[in-house]
Amino acid sequence: MASDKKTMQSEHPIDARYRAWSPESSQLSKRACEVFPGGDTRASAHYAPYPLTIQRGEGCYLYDVDGHQILDFMNNFTSLIHGHGNARVVDAVSKQAVIGTAYAAPSQNQIELAELIVARVGSIDQLRFCSSGTEATLMAIRCARAFTAKQKIMKMEGGYHGSYELAEVSLIPVPEFRGELERPNSLPVDGSFPDSVLQDTIVCPYNEPELAKQLIEENADTLAAVIIEPLLGSMGMIPANKRFLETLRETTEKNGVVLIFDEVISLRLSGGGAQEIYGIKPDLTCMGKIIGGGLPVGSVGGKRELMQVFNPTNPERVFHASTFSGNALTMAAGLAAMTLYTPSEAERLNRLGDMLRRGFDQALQQSGIRGHATGLGSLVNLHLTDKPLHDSRDAMEGMLGAGHIGRLLHLCMLQRGVMSASRLMYCISTPMTETEINIAITALSESLSELRPYIETERPGLLI
């Protein structure tokens, strides 16, 4: 008990207010710490002093165990395009559950969902389903290595492609270790990385077309693939510039290197994903999140000749099993969700995203606090810096400059009934309208007013 009192006395007043506001979540967090290391079973969903425990979701709202109604701008990290409990998706899942959740055999809804995706995404001739975006990027890389008979992979500094070593190389460009922009170091994100992964991964500066071209040409003889998010997700929703993507497309094509677009997050931006907006066709596309209707899912698709490496009748095939790949329950949910998510709905959500960015920018300006919102379409990220953000290095420097204020802002927004990712990422779902956008903008204005006295004493450099 004495140690608990000491912790309460030493923590920030906003943390103390959060604890008082969410006592049931606090108690459940203590129980969770007994069975999970640090009380956590999913690193991305954890935040200090503890995450809220959610009881249920409905539409674009969550309801926690303390009885708060919270507007959900996280949507399970962009995967719930229709929010919670969409009637059409629930009906599809309910009907499928009665007749079987997984068959270890093809199902008709599996074929129909694949047909829908192939029809919408112009670069995809064929695809395979899997169980996560992580698995999708992993299988895309294996496909590229098998097809090219080359070993190395190039990824972007700050790019995240799932929970395995290669996908996380240089995810966090720590200033003292990242090296020069012209030739970034391959950095491990933790102590689990073998040296071989770092040696096989070439790190490319984001949004630097000439440097990217040079790196590809230098390594062409050993480089199997370049993998990129058209929108740099985990490091602040920074869009790629078109010239950068065009340079990647042209240079990989000339040098026999497979170009992989990770559209696990960005597929929502149009009927055909970010690649349709940019007018650039990759060789392979990785998908996930929205195509599963709220259930675990992933997919890799692309050119027919590349996808044939997975053909089970191919004597030199890439072996891909995965117990729940294309399971009937996920396929039912995904087919319902993607049928509902029409290109016109994508355009409507994108307009709401533009409105949210403008409102956030105005709230920051009026508060006298440095910051702005980035993103594309219905994907938004708030940054406590007014410097232009070109790449993950810029985003990292902004986070370091803001220090703990970003974390406190997240807690302030939660207590005003607005949930985002703790890194201040917001995404929009189809139940939302301008009403919900205005609620979030108002909550930000109020949160910044609450934070300003602390910023004046703790981070005065954030003041305009």
* Residues annotated as part of the active site: 160, 262, 289
Q: How many CB atoms lie within 10 A of CB 216?
A: 23
For 432-464, b where at least 16 C-beta lie within 10 A, e where not — what string? beeebbebbbebbbbbbeebeeebeeebeebee
- CA 80 → CA 85, 184, 314, distances in Å? 10, 35, 36
Structure tokens, 259: 């170009």
Helix (H) or strand (E) holding 61: strand 61-64
Contact of 287 with 302, CB cutoff 8 Å: no
Find the angle CA(216)-CA(219)-CA(224) to the nearest 5 degrees.
80
Task: Give the type of residue at 373.
Answer: A
Contact of 435 with 42, CB cutoff 8 Å: no
Cβ neighbors of 87 (< 8 A, separation 6 or more) are none
Structure tokens, 370: 């440095």
Q: Tokens 């229709």 — which residue?
A: 82
According to DSSP, residue 152 is labeled E
E strands, 328-455, in order: 372-376, 379-383, 418-419, 425-427
Whole-number Å distance between alpha carbons of 380 and 386: 16
Whole-number Å distance between alpha carbons of 367 and 389: 21
Give long-range contacts, CB 8 A cutoff, 24+ apart: 356-363: 356/380, 356/426, 356/428, 356/437, 356/440, 356/441, 359/437, 359/438, 359/440, 359/441, 359/444, 360/440, 360/441, 360/444, 362/441, 363/441, 363/444, 363/445, 363/448
